Structure 1
């Protein structure tokens, strides 16, 4: 856990977990999923973005301007996934290739666990 994560409130921790678990969520859905007001949700998002724990990108969703919230890439050590200079073939239950979105999402979920 990073220093920034150690200082999170319970609501901020729940928000960060939601963003990481989903791999990305629209801010308008973020508030609903956390069951908080849009004002409180906005404060949580601003705090997480200021601490560089999430990225916030302007987008249009269902015809409305909003933000896409996604986990910030961390300095991750993938050495345990490697066999020399190649990805170990024994890192997942399902057969995945290195170009698939499923593979990228699996690696990011693994990294945040």
Structure 2
């Protein structure tokens, strides 16, 4: 994936509601044709979805990142689930005792394999 494709994907992923294609090329500071090619590659890769959208009577497209299934191995250490899921604490991840303990279990599990 090219740097511009990665940048476009990050911009699209950062907006929960999506990004208008007519705005994306302005944000990326590229022309609309180049933006269309980038969007096509992201669509073909299955990373985004495109929905027809009318803005001030002009047809454009709303681009949204596709949600991908999470590999359960990423959130499990042994039988312990990542403590951040559902956590309501406002903490600094580097200082969170629950997260550090979970990471310790994960590292210990990998060491035993």
5+ long unaligned stretches in structure 1: 1-7, 94-113
| Higher gyration radius (CA) | 2
Choose which of 46, 61, 70 in structure 2 pairs with 1:67: 61
Tell me which of the two structures has the higher relative contact order, counting C-alpha pairs closer than 8 angstroms and 6 or more residues apart.
1
TM-score (norm 1): 0.64
Q: Give per-residue Cα distances to partners, 1:7-44, cap 9 Å, x unaligned.
A: x1111111101111223100000111001111000000
Alignment partner, residue 20 of structure 1: 13
Aligned length: 81
5+ long unaligned stretches in structure 2: 76-80, 92-113
Q: Return the offset for 1:74.
A: 1.1
Runs of 4 or more above 3 Å deviation: none
TM-score (norm 2): 0.64
